[in-house]
A and B are shown apart, each in its own frame.
Chain A
Amino acid sequence: MEIFLQQIINGLVQGSVYALVALGYTMVYGILGLINFAHGEVVMVGAMLALSALTALIGWGLSPLLALPISLTLAMAGCMALGYGIERIAYRPLRHAPRLAPLITAIGVSILLQNLAMMIWGRGYRAFPQLIENRPHLIGGAIINDIQIIIVVLAIVLMAALMVVVHRTRLGRAMRAVAENQHAAQLMGVDVNRVISITFMIGSALAAVAGLMVSANYGLAHYYMGFLLGLKAFTAAVLGGIGNLRGAMLGGLLLGLIESLGAGYIGDITGGFMGSQYQDVFAFLVLIAVLVFRPSGLLGEQLAERA
C-alpha cells in the first residue's frame, strides 16, 4: 500500500513537470495551430539562464531566498525575449506557408539552440546548488519533499492563472478571436501580430519556470535536457487534447501516473515477462487507445482539422 501510494505521488510530481511544459505547447497551439517543437529547448535555456544567474548571485554573497526570485525573473525575461525572437524569425514569415514548413524551422531552431547552449554552457552536466533544505514529508508512509510540493502546486496555479487570462481579460478575448479566425479578428481591430507575440512570450515565460523547477528537482541541467522533456510534454498535451489548457494539465498528470504505475507494475502484471523497460511502450499504447476512441484527445475539440 505504501509502495502504491508512493507510486501515485511519483506520478503526480512527474506529471506536474510534464504539465508545466505542456501548458506552453498548448498555449501556442491553441492560438496558432502550430506545434512549437523548439519549446523543449526554451525550457532548457530557461534552466541554464536561471542556473547561471543563481550561481553568479550567490557568488556575490546574496542570500538564496533573494537570489532565487531574481534569477527566476531574469530567466523568464531571457526566455520571453527568446520566444519573441523565435516567433519573429522562424514562424511569422511562414504563417501562410504550407503546414509543415514551420515544423522544419522549429526543428532547425531546436538544433540551433542546443548547439548554442553547448557552446555557451559547455558540454558537461551542470549541478544545481542545494540552496534551501529540501525537507521530506511523510504521507501514509510515502514521501514527498518541498520542491515536489511546489511543483505540483505551481502547475495547478499556473494553469488556473492562464485560464483566467484567456477567459477573463481583454487580451484573452483577443487571443481567442485570433484562434477562431485571424482575418476576422484583424478586421475587428485586433493586432494579430501583437497577440501572437504575447502568446509566445507567455509560453516562454512558463518554460523558464518549468526549466527552473525541473533542474531544482533533479539537481542538474544539461544542454540536451529539453529534447526528451519536450517530447513527453508534447505527448501529454496531445493526450489531453492539444490547444486546451485543462487538457494539458490532465494529460500531463495522466502521463505521469501511467509512467510511474507502468514502471512499477508491468512486471507484476505480465508475470515478469516484461519489466520497466517497456514503460514508454505502455504509455504510448494508452495514448493510441485514447486517440482511437477520442481522436482529438480527452478534452480536445472535435473539429481539429487544419489545412
Chain B
Amino acid sequence: MLNALKRLLLTRALPSPVCGRGVGGEGKTRSVLMLCLLFGVVLMLPFVVDALLGRGWVRIVDFAMLYIMLALGLNIVVGYAGLLDLGYIAFFAVGAYCYALTGSPHLALAFPQLFPDGVHLSFWIVLPMAAVLAGGMGVLLGAPTLRLRGDYLAIVTLGFGEIIRIFMNNLNAPVNLTNGPQGISRIDPISIAGVSLNTTQTVFGIELPSVHLYFYLFLGFAALVAFVSHRLEKSRIGRAWMAIREDEVAASAMGINTRNLKLLAFAMGAMFGGVSGTLFAGFQGFVSPESFSLMESIMVLCMVVLGGMGHIYGVILGGLMLALLPEILRHSVVPLQQAMFGKVIIDPESLRMLLFGIALIAVMLYRPAGLWPSPVRRRELASDEVVP
C-alpha cells in the first residue's frame, strides 16, 4: 500500500490539470460548430425515433436523459473529486419525494386540516427548493466522511443511500409523510406557462405528444447540467477537485482547502441529482421507494466509469449506453435467436441480463479507462504504464 502512495507521489507530483488548460484555442470554434450540428440532430431525435422505432423508444430516451443528468452529477463527485459514492441515488430520491409531496394530493392524508386538497405547488417553485435541499443533504453526507478514503467512503455512502431509502419506506407512521412502500401517486404533471406537458400540444402545425415535450424539457436540463459541469471543470474549483483526486495530501500542501472543496463536490453532485429527481417525479406521476434501490446507484456509477470518468462527453455516452442497452437487448434477443437458430432457445429475459453483464465486463477489459476517456486522463494512464 505504501508502494502505491509512493508511485503516486513520484509520477504525479504536479497536479495534472495544469496541462488541461492548453486544449482551447482553434479547436474551440470547431467544437462550437460540432455542438450546433449536434443540437440540430438532437432536436429532430424524438420524431425520428418515433417514426422509426415507436413511441416507447421516445420514453426510453426520456429516461436516458434523466440518467445522463444523474451520471453527470455523480461525475462531479467521482470523476472530478475522486470520491467514490455508492449512495448517489439518495439525492435523486430526495428530489423526487420533494415534488411528490408538494405536487400531489398526498399530504391531505397526513394533515387534513392544514391541506384539505394536498399541496399543489408549481413545479418551478419546487425545483429550486429540491435542489437546495438535496445539496444540503450532500453536505450532510459529506461532513462525517471527510477523513474517509476509497472503499471506506464507498461503504459509508452506500449506507447513507440505504438510510434515506429506509426512511422513505417507513415514514408512513406515526405520521403518514411518505405513504411508505405504497408510494405516492397522482403527482401533478409538469407544466410550462400553464401548459401541461402531460397533454399533446400542437406547435406550428406539428403535433407534439407528451413524451416529446418531456424530451425537450429533459434535454434542456441535461444540456444545462452538462454546461455547468463543463464550466466547473475548467474553473479553479474544478482544477482543485482534480488535484484532490490525484493526491489529497499534495493538494492540501498547495493551499487547497480540501474540506470545503470536497463538501462543495458533494453538494453540487447532490443538487444535480435532486433536480433530476423532481423531473422524474413529474414525468412518472408516481414515486415509491423501490425506484431508489442500491442497484440504481450502482448503475449510475457504472455509467460514469464505463463512459470515462471525469470526461463530460464520455459520461454522456456512458449514460446513454447503459440506459439504452437493456432496452435494445429486450427488443433484439428474440428476433436475433430466431434469425440464428430459427426458434427461441434461451429464455429471452435471462439472456438479456446475461448479455448486459457480459457487455460490462467486455467494455472494461478492452477499454479500462472507459469508452471515451478524457484526453488528459488518457495521457496520464499512458505514462502510468511505464512505471510498473
Contact = CB atoms under 8 A, between A and B. Distances in A.
A and B touch in the complex (CB under 8 A): yes
A-B interface, 6 closest residue pairs, ranked by CB to CB distance from nearest:
A108-B360, A97-B368, A284-B159, A112-B357, A111-B357, A108-B361
Interface of B is mostly: helix
Contacts of B263: none
B346 to A, nearest CB: 7
B162 interface: yes
A180 interface: yes
Given A287-B159, A305-B1, A115 B357 contact: yes
A101 B360 CA distance: 10
Chain A interface size, under 10 / 10 to 19 / 20 to 34 / 35 or more:
35 or more
A107 B381 contact: no
Contact of A98 (B1, B357, B361, B381): B381
Given A115-B357, A242-B151, A303 B2 contact: yes
Contacts of A104: 301-302, 305-306, 360, 364
Contact of A281 (B150, B163, B350, B360): B163
Contacts of A301: 1
Contacts of B306: 104
Interface of B: 1-5, 7-8, 78, 84, 144-145, 147-152, 154-156, 158-160, 162-163, 166-167, 169-170, 174, 294, 298, 301-302, 305-306, 309, 346-347, 350-351, 353-354, 356-361, 364-365, 368-369, 381, 384-385, 388
B152 A295 contact: yes
A20 B144 CA distance: 30
Nearest to A272: B174
Given A115-B357, A284-B159, 5 more contacts: A96-B388, A179-B1, A284-B160, A292-B145, A292-B147
A48 to B, nearest CB: 15
Given A98-B309, A104-B306, A184-B3, A235 B364 contact: no
A241 B158 CA distance: 17
Interface of A: 29, 33, 35, 89-90, 93-94, 96-105, 107-116, 118-119, 179-184, 231, 234-235, 238, 242, 273, 277-278, 280-281, 284-285, 287-288, 291-292, 295-297, 301, 303-307
A301 B174 CA distance: 44
B162 A303 contact: no
B22 to A, nearest CB: 23
Contacts of A181: 2-3
B84 A295 contact: no
A96 B384 contact: yes
Given A119-B350, A183-B388, A306-B1, A234 B170 contact: no
A281 to B, nearest CB: 5
A273 B170 CA distance: 11
Contacts of B170: 277-278
Contact of B144 (A112, A113, A278, A292): A292
A295 B147 contact: yes
Contacts of B305: 100-101, 103-104
Nearest to A243: B1
Contacts of A116: 354
13 contacts: A94-B364, A108-B361, A111-B357, A119-B347, A119-B354, A179-B1, A180-B2, A238-B151, A287-B155, A291-B145, A291-B148, A303-B2, A304-B150
B167 A287 contact: no
Contacts of B158: 231, 235
B361 A105 contact: yes
Contact of A112 (B4, B151, B302, B358): B358
A255 B361 CA distance: 32
Most buried by B among A105, A111, A114, A281: A111
A241 B151 CA distance: 11
A242 B36 CA distance: 50
B261 to A, nearest CB: 18
A112 B350 CA distance: 9
Contacts of A100: 78, 84, 301, 305, 309
A110 B357 CA distance: 8
Nearest to B347: A119
Given A98-B369, A303-B2, A304-B150, A118 B361 contact: no
A109 B362 CA distance: 10
B369 A277 contact: no
A31 to B, nearest CB: 11
Of the candidates A98, A116, A291, A292, the one having the most CB atoms from chain B within 10 angstroms of its own CB is A98
A111 B353 contact: yes
Nearest to B365: A93
A137 B299 CA distance: 46
B298 A107 contact: yes
Contacts of A278: 166, 170
B149 A107 contact: no
A285 B148 CA distance: 15
B368 A94 contact: yes
Contacts of A284: 159-160, 162-163
A101 to B, nearest CB: 4
A131 B154 CA distance: 41
Contacts of A235: 155, 158-159
B335 to A, nearest CB: 20
B150 A306 contact: yes
A274 B1 CA distance: 42
A30 to B, nearest CB: 10
Contacts of B167: 281
Contacts of A35: 151, 154
A179 B150 CA distance: 17
Contacts of B4: 33, 305-307
A278 B147 CA distance: 26
Contact of B166 (A102, A273, A277, A292): A277
A238 to B, nearest CB: 5
B381 A291 contact: no
Contacts of B174: 273
Contacts of A291: 145, 148, 152, 155-156
B351 to A, nearest CB: 8
A29 B144 CA distance: 24
Contact of B357 (A96, A109, A179, A180): A109
B266 to A, nearest CB: 15
B361 A109 contact: yes
B1 A304 contact: yes
Nearest to A34: B151
